[in-house]
Amino acid sequence: MPAYKAPLRDISFVMNELLESEKLYQTLPGYEEATADLMNAIVEEGAKFAENVLSPLNQSGDEEGCHWSEEGVTTPKGFAEAYRQYVDNGWPALSASVEDGGQGMPNLMGIVINEMAGTANWSWLMYPGLSHGAVKTIEEHGDAEQKKKYLTKLVQGEWTGTMCLTEAHCGSDLGLLRTKAEPQADGSYAITGTKIFISAGDHDMAENIVHIVLARLPDAPAGTKGISLFIVPKFNVNADGSLGERNAVTCASIEKKMGIKASATCVMNFDGATGYLIGPPNRGLNCMFTFMNTARIGTAIQGLAHGQLAFTGALSYAKERLAMRSLTGPKNPDGPADPIIVHPNVRRMLLTQKAFVEGSRAFLYFLAQLGDIVDAGNEEQAKAADDLMALLTPIGKAFVTETGYEAANIGVQVYGGHGFIREWGMEQIVRDARISMLYEGTTGIQALDLLGRKVIGSGGKLLLGFTSLIDEFCAANEGAEFVDVLKAYKDEWLGLSMKIGEAAMQNPDEAGSAAVDYLMYSGYVTLAYFWARMAVLAKRKIAEGAGDTSFYEAKLMTARFYFERLLPRTVSLKQTMLSGADNLMQMPEALFEF
């Protein structure tokens, strides 16, 4: 397994130079203390924790896995100790509000810390990771008593949180769920049902686990309109905040999985467990979207994390592994062969990883900043940022995880046969990365959300909100490298959206058949926007003699690779998305035989 080394220079470039975080946060009430010096210091300390504490547990945790017994789930050796250190250092509270026991730093800082921790050990990060969504859900929808009882403990990491949606017969279609919530005389509810695929549903790392559970009230209407949301703690909480008796919620088993084996994915039984309604009755799905959007951005970070770790390993190996001679003559004449990094095909693979990873980092940090503007900006700023997040979140979740998985697979390819062997750790990265395209809404679900709800459903308004940013950038940098190409792609993106929208009005299957290709096309153009921005900035820094010339030159070269080698993938995506629904839907079901 590659030892994790945080890409601090690139993190600093995106955070401080490209996105000018200090400048932004000085304008947002409550975030004024987020200076560049403080943010850099936090990132450096987070890097040390990721590199020295979490990374050494990554491969051993995969090999050991979790252990189930009737008493509960035990995590791999070292995981609980690492979590205690994480809590003692204050990391869970970093981006939470001061009123709830947090440190009041921007959401961006939490995203950066999660990227580093997740790259070092994604399975470990799953345990504290879902708590952020639970916190935001209770912050936004909980009553005063619920906030007092649960928030501080969750914020400070003494307790962790989960999201309990999926049942054996329903995944993305939550309208089919059967878990029941029966009102009790004391105002609580008895929750009965079984949930599956519950990440960190049980473990030995925190003293209590707060489950956020979807269930139906007795008089609830059918479908998604009849779902309510409940807080169901593992241990009931007394009025004074102390832990009471064990609640009737247990882990029946843990899944045997392809990857992230050190993360306990649980089957959870609720046997009349005491729960508390959060938010209005029958509006649970609406409340859950607070949790889901947070989780989707967190999942997008997984794509970035696995891509980064695979690139770290592949680059190191390519510099050391000797095989054959360069086509243009020996580059290592004193050795028996040249390092494989001299070969064009290996360069193609490494640059693909680098372009996806660094472009995705810029994209996702930008999304995190939008979340901070939603939280702390004025009404007009918050509305504009929220609209941008609505459009870009499905692209971020799906495109970054798809390309992150591609980057992980490339890592195996660079290693050749060694990549297929467990001891090198590259195959683990692929196994761990595969789930990212499935949970929090598959790529197909995200694509339907993007095209159907966000683009067509808004009459193109949300898309125009983002393309106007591209227009502003192009106008401000007219004549700069990549700008004309970016502008042409922006125009084509709008034209394709209109064509597909018109076709979908005649036949809704036209949207469904085009959706995934449309999302991937949108992702490539979105990353092109960020690569163009990075290239313009890098060229300016070089001209100013700002120092670190090699770093900025590498940015320019990677941008050229992206525009010339990766962005052209949109040509085939355009053709397939416009090919129509007939080639998918005309075959009768009976002919799907083998």
Give, to the nearest 10 degrees, the angle between helix 344-376 and helix 509-544.
100
Q: Check: CB of residue 450 under 8 Å from CB of residue 391.
A: yes
Strand partners, 243: 237
First to last CA, the chain: 41
Contacts of residue 289, Cβ cutoff 8 Å, sequence gap at least 6? none
Phi-psi region of 90 (alpha: psi -120 to 50; beta: other; left: phi over 0): left
Task: Describe the chain by its helix, strand, coil percentages, rounded to 5.
Answer: 60, 10, 25
Query: What distances in angstroms separate CA 519 from CA 79, 289, 452, 493, 516, one per listed residue?
Result: 37, 20, 11, 11, 5
Please state, in angstroms and rounded to a whole number, the distance separating the CA atoms of residues 554 and 229. Answer: 49
Query: How many Cβ atoms sit within 10 Å of the Cβ of residue 474?
Result: 19
Longest dimension (CA), the chain: 84
**Residue 497 bridge partners (DSSP):** none
Rounded Cα–Cα distance for residues 383 and 363 (Å): 19
- Quote the CA–CA distance of 349 and 178 in Å, as a whole number: 47
- CA 133 vs. chain centroid, Å, equals 12
Tokens representing residue 262 in the block:
């050190």
> Smallest Cα–Cα separation from 293: which of 167, 385, 225, 228?
385
In angstroms, rounded to a whole number, what is the distance separating the alpha carbons of residues 525 and 496?
Answer: 13
Dist. CA 409–CA 431, nearest whole Å? 10
Contact between residue 446 and residue 515 where contact means Cβ atoms under 8 Å apart: no
Cβ-contact 477, 329 below 8 angstroms: no
CB neighbours of 380 closer than 8 A, spacing ≥ 6? none
Secondary structure class of 263 (helix, strand, coil):
coil
Residue among 544, 543, 497 at smallest CA distance from 517: 497
Mapped onto helix, strand or coil, the DSSP state of residue 474 is: helix
d(CA 398, CA 289) in angstroms, rounded, equals: 17
Which residues participate in catalysis according to the annotation?
440
Token code pair at residue 559: 């941008």
